[in-house]
Structure 1
Amino acid sequence: MHNTTHTNRLIDETSPYLLQHAHNPVAWHPWGPEALARARRENKPILLSIGYSACHWCHVMAHESFEDEGTARVMNELFVNIKVDREERPDLDRIYQSAHQMLANRAGGWPLTMFLMPDDQTPFFGGTYFPKEARHGMPAFTDLCRRVAGYYREHRAEIEAQNDSVRGNFQRLSVTSPTAGVSVAPHVLTRAREEIAGQFESKHGGFGQAPKFPHPTTIERLLRHWHGSGRKDEQALHMARFTLHAMASGGIYDQLGGGFCRYSVDEYWMIPHFEKMLYDNGQLQALYADAAIATNDAVFRRIAIETGEWVIREMQSPGGGYYSALDADSEGEEGKFYVWMPDEVKSLLTPEEYAVLAPVYGLDRPPNFENHAWNLHVFQSPAMIAQTLGITGEEAAQCLTRARQKLLVARERRVRPGRDDKVLTSWNGLMIKGMARAGRLLDRPDFIASAERAFDFIRAQLWKNDRLLATHKDGRSHLNAYLDDYAFLIDGGLELLQARWRDGDLEFLVELAETLLDHFEDKTSGGFYFTADDHEKLIHRPKPASDDAIPSGNGVAAQVLLRLGHLLGATHFLDAAHNTLVALWRDIERYPSVYNSLLAAVDEYLHPGEIIVIRGTGQPLADWRQAAAAHYAPSRLVMAIPDDAAPLPGVLAERVARGKVTAYCCAGLSCSAPITEASVFYALFGKNGDAPQTR
């Protein structure tokens, strides 16, 4: 229970994270005109604190400092205090994380603690987590606050000189003018492959050392490169498969309930920070479904299915939208919901079940979580245990399945981690894509239905006055949408249309794409800004190019515009995609492997994938769609459109029904003659599903 002695201005917000701080003694404001005007009027610096609901260290700092009366008095006396949910305001998070990098010469993180000028919100000092009491070389937070406020009063000239430098750095970040004579070329794809190989950690999988993050776009790049090599680059496939297997076996994956945690603190993927984020799981579900089809690996299929089942069970609202996150903590302890003690496990299982489960998940080894508990991590396969126990592999697998189910039922009785139940448009786009792709590739119509419910929720609740909104909670949708909201929703919608055609969906995606061009495109230099042209004026208008935990909005925008442009014969979409690649080419060429989403667009720009439109009815239409869509072909777009569909936009109107199933196969804007014979159509696809022009 929150202490309700105090109530601040966060009480009227929708963000669960902000509401967690609504009864702090700190006089928090949400970011907005009232807080900014007060700072200017009182000439007080702004203390800006940015975090999110599932962030463990955000909770620690809140408990130590923001709930403390003495700390709050210091903060309230010296600053105008603003609290921001990074998930609702990714624009502010991007800007001030970049500023932290400039000021501290190191990456930021969360909670982000920045001190801003009251007149124009330029940051002059910052950090991340600060303890209440001085320790580990960090000052006590109240001492830091007093020193920052004193420096602001007494060293204004030095601050202004530094601010000029910060503004100049932001100005340079904004310049993306295309280099004269730039042409998009394939060498960046090979260089990215080489860079990724240099980052690959061959002993335990992944890229780089601990802490280890999933990096879905990096693994997708490897699979695309393997496919583009004619399936000859076995090393690229190995890096992808080895990493996917390591994560699937690791404690980063919820071995009982499905779904992935944010990252692993160790090199083994064994102990995660236990928050579960929708954006990770949307990307990873799509990736594991792709890998299952590419490699025919049953483990990858199981992971994609279990992740989807977890999302439907725990992360889909009654209205259809997907919730944002599950907290790392429960009952004030990180990971408490997920970890086990052997005696408890023994009490829940038969001796035979325990004899299998314990060595599989390491309960027969020393504790791996904070020296007192066990987080489930696959150490041995059931087949290996079967040999030791003298039973068949099938018996061991069945035993493990029963044991896992019993533990899951028992775990459901525990106090659950908090759930951030806001619905974010961008993250829903990622999850819609994951569900629709897994549903299509793995024959799970319930996943497709789940994706449709989420897509319909976004359209009904977050599409207002011909513009998207970014967030929804408790019946209230608000905040202007960002680049990611538009790009990811179009991407998810295109995947959904491949899974099941519905009249009206394509027209909505076209409307979203037109709005993207109207309000986000840099008409002078190319590419897309993160915020719309009528967004609140901030100290910087980012144009994000690199991937981080989520794909680059520019990369996904370029991909979907290429696909829509080829599907509809809409050259203005193709031009916008081309201009994006040219505008960001200098960055891509400098270090290709951090721009994997843009590289996917480069790949599809240089080697346009097939656009296969099938017209027909009933089971024959479904059979033809399955033949074209059931293989790993990352650049292929397959639309199975019933004969009685509503009138179609663009050149799709020419893909007419002919009284029998008919396929129109194109690569880019070049098309073959219509195909009406099943044998001819099926012959297009070899054993790997590769049509002649596929990449």
Structure 2
Amino acid sequence: MGNRLATAASLYLRQHGEDPVDWWPWSEEALHTAERSGRPILLSIGYSACHWCHVMAHESFADPAVAELINANFVAIKVDREERPDLDRNYQLAHQALNRRAGGWPLTAFLDPLLRLPFFIGTYFPPNAAHGLPAFSDLLSKLATWYGEHRKDWSVEVRGLADFLQQHGVDPAEQGPLHRGPIDAAAAGLLAAVDWQHGGRQGAPKFPAHSELAWGLGRLPRWQRDASTDPLDALPIDVLAQQSALNALLRGEQREGGAPEHALFSMARIVDSGLQDHIGGGFFRYCADADWNLPHFEKMLYDNAQWLSNLAEAQQVVPSKLWRDAALGVVRWLQEEMSLPEGGFASALDADSEGGEGASYVWTQQEWRACLGGDAGWMAEIYGLDRDANAGNEHWHLRRRLGEQGLSELAARLQLDESQLRKRMEQLKRGLRLQRGQRPAPQRDEKCLTAANGLLLRGLVQAARAFDRSDWLELAVELCDQVSRRVRDGSRLRALDYPQQRGGPGFLDDYAALLLGLIELLQARFQPLLLEWAIELAESLLRDFEHLEVGGFWFSAHDQVETVHRGKPVFDDAAPAGNALAARGLQQLGSLLAEPRYIRAAERSLRSAWSSLSQAPDGCCSMLQVLQAHLRPPPVLIARLANVSEHQRWHRALQQAEQQRFDVYRLPAADSLLPTALESKRWLSGGRVYWCEGVRCLPRFDNPVALLSAMDRFAENASG
């Protein structure tokens, strides 16, 4: 018959729609029911692609005996963390406060029905006591008894937790001069934790720290590209030196360096590892082991969006087929498996499918040989099937075991050119992909998440430019239009959109991620309507999210339903911190428009976050990028160009500016109805470029040679 979740818009809630548990969605009716009954709330938070959420569901929530315990003693509420990230943030923080360690999913909390604060909280609980965890049924019985006997006493004691949650992250703003101390401290802290054998941080499980990688890559000089050379075959001396250093790291000849070397080394190790889907493209969420061998198989849109950004930046630093092939795989996966009929891209693919976790992705030797025939042997060398099974029960999960040198040696042994070998590999991988496509597919979550699609918009544009793919830029333009149509609600945003139902109001990450995506697209293809939308989002950040008394941005808007902890996110998580995204977007837009309100708001966000930046800078890498831009604002070049001839005339100078990490905008000469700061920058026959820093502009340039000279002087001063 099903329960209240059977017809929910959320896939995660529907996955529990047949449980014998009397589930409620989070709602006023559910909360009032708990208040009236006096029963505590069992709150379970997860998401549709989460493997351990599925495990607990099968083991406990589908068990009639466990359901009877829950229904008799608790009001059971299910929350999809992607629908209500504000609630998830609240209770993850409570878990950290009460258990002195990070939480995760599924999150299992037992709440007082009036205060809605946890008296006990954990993550996964097994059906039988194991690994220091109680059996879930025993836990339910004991907590029900304890709460009945101690409710009044506990209600007094929990006020301390309430005070902690309300005050957490609301530190006084820094009043003194901002400096690079947190940047230097973060570099030292990160390096102490680097795994110089496998990449990433030491230990297991292993998560790709996208913001950490982005910060490290941003500290390396970009390759000074000559438009007349092949970027993969004719590299300048400085890039050859960087490539040589990277190769030494990969061969194990060098296991040290700074944050930049850590970023390159870790990315190269991960791209070859089991975290990447080497057949279907894209990256899984994380690996359970220390050497990135076997993942939990969920694929998340927000992860792959950030992979595109970091692969693009790595390509700008040290061009490599490694980055190019991985980016091609991500985009192919997006187009083939994640594109939604209504527009935008789906939020996730499940870790599980028919046959269990990872069943869609792993191979037996028999399947491998049947698909590849006479090529099975040497392909097994490349992807590890010539070694012991790594996915249990005579199943192999692919990871690339031969690096560039190994592929060259294999090509020689097979008496093939390396290009012929690569071409044959791609043909065989297409056959493997077709064969895999006949298996039961993992379930796709059809949500169109605003923040994740905003991160993807940015990543697609960055990848289009770094890898010279005009088709990817067209894909980004199309995505921008689709997201506008699906989640834009007047001057406000919705956090998500379902195929048949609108989602709730947007949060900080939605506005900030989309703002950064629009700014990136404006640099690739300037359109006045996109600029209008970017300004609209910036004004919403100031009006609806800024903490005016202290600075910084709340996660939820001023008019959204109040929760126990509102929060001003500064620390990076699976995605960059919302305050960092907002501040960086306001910095960039403020510099483009010479708008001091935006730049001052970004500085206030930094000052508000200063305590966290000082105490734990290596957890705030995205905010460190904001600090770097504040201490030394990257110049902005605004080019007014009329035709192809003028674009060609200025191409080399503007390209060099981009390689020096300037923000470069190419405005058509005839554009009108622009903001005053741009309208005043007039076109002159032959093209004209304006150089701006912060809210001031330097004299204009009418000659590319003069601009190149100015950039050389700027680079000399920066290095000095």
2-structure distance, mates of 1:15, 1:563: 35
Go from structure 1 to structure 2 and tell me whether the alpha carbon gap of 1:129 and 1:621 turns closer, same or farther (over 3 Å shift): farther
The equivalent of 2:254 in structure 1 is: none
2:424 counterpart letter in structure 1: C
Counterparts of 1:224 and 1:174, CA distance in 2: 27
Name the aligned partner's letter for residue 355 of structure 1.
G
Between the aligned partners of 1:307 and 1:608, the Cα distance in structure 2 is: 32
- Within 2, Cα distance between the matches of 1:162 and 1:229? 59
Per the TM alignment, residue 405 of structure 1 is displaced from its structure 2 partner at its CA by 1.6
The number of residues matched between the two structures is: 687
Give 1:104-503 correspondences, 5 Å limit: 104-179=99-174, 181-227=175-221, 235-236=257-258, 237-351=260-374, 353-381=375-403, 382-503=407-528
Alpha-carbon deviation of 1:629? 4.4
Q: Any conservation in 2 of the 1:667–1:693 contact (CA below 8 Å)? A: no
Q: Which amino acid aligns with 2:643?
A: G
Tell me the distance in 2 between the aligned counterparts of 1:551 and 1:634: 23
1:63 maps onto 2:58 in alignment = yes
Q: Does structure 2 retain, via aligned residues, the 8 Å contact 1:635–1:694?
A: no
1:524 corresponds to which residue? 549
Distance in 1 between the 2:300 and 2:651 partners?
Answer: 32
CA distance in 2, matches of 1:631, 1:256: 37
CA, structure 1 residues 174+199, in 2 after alignment: closer, same or farther (shift >3 Å)? closer
2:503 counterpart SS class: strand
**Which runs of 5 or more residues in structure 2 are unaligned?**
225-237, 246-256
Q: Quickly say closer, same or farther: Cα 1:621–1:87, change in 2 above 3 A.
A: farther
Residue number among 677, 684, 693 corresponding to 1:658 in the alignment: 684
1:592–1:425: structure 2 CA closer, same or farther, 3 Å change rule?
same
Instruction: Give distance in 1, aligned partners of 2:140 and 2:676.
Output: 60
Contact 2:166 2:564 in 1 (8 A): no
Deviation at 1:14, TM superposition (A): 1.5
Rounded to whole Å, the distance in 1 between the matches of 2:119 and 2:134 is 18
- Report the more deviating stretch, 478-487 or 446-455: 446-455
- Residue 613 of structure 1 contacts residue 663 of structure 1 at CA under 8 Å; is this kept in 2? yes
Q: Deviations over 1:57-84 (max 9, x none)?
A: 1011111222222221221111111100
Look up the SS of the partner of 1:396 in the other structure: helix
Q: Name the structure 2 match of 1:648.
A: 674
Q: Which runs of 5+ in 1 are unaligned?
A: none
For 1:269 and 1:63, how far apart are their aligned partners in 2? Answer: 27
**In 2, Cα distance between the equivalents of 1:317 and 1:190?**
43
Cα drift, residue 445 of structure 1: 1.9
1:361 maps to a residue whose letter is Y
- Contact 1:339-1:374 within 8 A present in 2 as well: yes
Q: Encode CA deviations 1:70-117: one digit per residue, 9 max, x unaligned.
A: 221221111111100011111001100111112222221110000111
CA deviation vs aligned residue, 1:229-248 (integer Å, no higher than 9, x gap): 99899733322221111011
Task: Give me the whole-angstrom Cα distance separating, in 2, the residues matched to 1:686 and 1:204.
Answer: 38
Q: Distance in 2 between matches of 1:630 and 1:38?
A: 63
The aligned counterpart of 2:532 is: 507
AA aligned to 1:356 is W
Match of 2:619?
A: 594
The Cα of 1:280 is off from its aligned counterpart by 0.7
Partners of 2:712 and 2:327 in 1: CA distance: 25
User: How far is 1:638 from its partner?
Assistant: 1.3
The answer on whether the counterparts of 1:196 and 1:593 sit within 8 Å (CA) in structure 2 is: yes
Show the counterpart of 1:27.
22
Residue 390 of structure 1: CA displacement? 4.4
RMSD between aligned alpha carbons? 2.3
Percent identity between the two aligned chains: 38
1:463 and 1:258 map into 2 onto residues whose CA distance is: 30
Q: Is the 8 A contact 1:501 1:640 kept in 2?
A: yes
Match of 2:38 among 43, 63, 71: 43
Check 1:345–1:667 CA distance in 2 against 1; reply closer, same or farther (3 A cut).
Answer: same
Alpha-carbon distance in 2 for matches of 1:629, 1:31: 51
Q: Does 1:83 align with 2:109?
A: no
CA shift, 1:123, in A, is: 1.1
Instruction: Give the letter for the 1:220 counterpart.
Output: A
C-alpha contact (below 8 Å) 2:222/2:318 kept by paired residues:
no
Indicate if the aligned counterparts of 1:294 and 1:631 stay in contact, CA closer than 8 A: no
Secondary structure of the structure 2 residue equivalent to 1:504: helix
2:644 corresponds in structure 1 to 619
SS of equivalent to 1:477? coil
In structure 2, how many angstroms separate the alpha carbons of the residues matched to 1:523 and 1:343? 64
Work out whether residues 566 and 611 of structure 1, in 8 Å CA contact, stay in contact via their aligned partners in 2.
Answer: yes
For 2:183 and 2:651, how far apart are their aligned partners in 1? 30
Counterpart amino acid of residue 62 in structure 2: E
Q: CA deviation at 1:560?
A: 0.8
Q: Which amino acid aligns with 1:102?
A: A
- Aligned residues of 2:275 and 2:284 also touching (Cα < 8 A): yes
- 170-179 vs 191-200, which deviates more? 170-179
Cα distance in 2 for partners of 1:694, 1:525 equals 35
- 1:642 offset after TM fit, Å? 1.2
Question: Who is 2:696 aligned against?
Answer: 670
Q: Which moved more, 1:674-683 or 1:468-477?
A: 674-683
* Distance (Å, rounded) in 2 between the aligned partners of 1:492 and 1:329: 31
Query: Is the 8 Å Cα contact of residues 277 and 325 (structure 1) preserved in structure 2?
Result: yes
TM-superposed CA distance for 1:494, in Å, is: 0.6
- Name whichever of 223-232 and 433-442 sits farther off: 223-232
CA shift in 2, pair 1:632/1:405, >3 Å: farther
Which of residues 597, 609, 614 in structure 2 aligns to 1:584?
609
Amino acid at match of 1:165: G
**For residues 496 and 273 of structure 1, what CA distance do their matches in structure 2 show?**
33
Q: What one-letter code is carried by the residue in structure 2 that aligns with 1:644?
A: A
Native 8 Å contact 1:183 1:582 kept in 2: no
Cα distance in structure 1, aligned partners of 2:68 and 2:47: 24
Structure-2 change in CA distance of 1:228 and 1:682 (3 Å): closer
Task: Kindly indicate whether the alpha-carbon contact (under 8 Å) linking 1:305 and 1:438 is maintained by their aligned counterparts in 2.
Answer: no
Instruction: Measure the CA separation in 1 of the matches of 2:88 and 2:420.
Output: 51
TM-score normalised according to structure 1 size: 0.94
1:526-565 to structure 2, matched below 5 A, reads: 526-565=551-590
Give the TM-score, by structure 2 length. 0.91
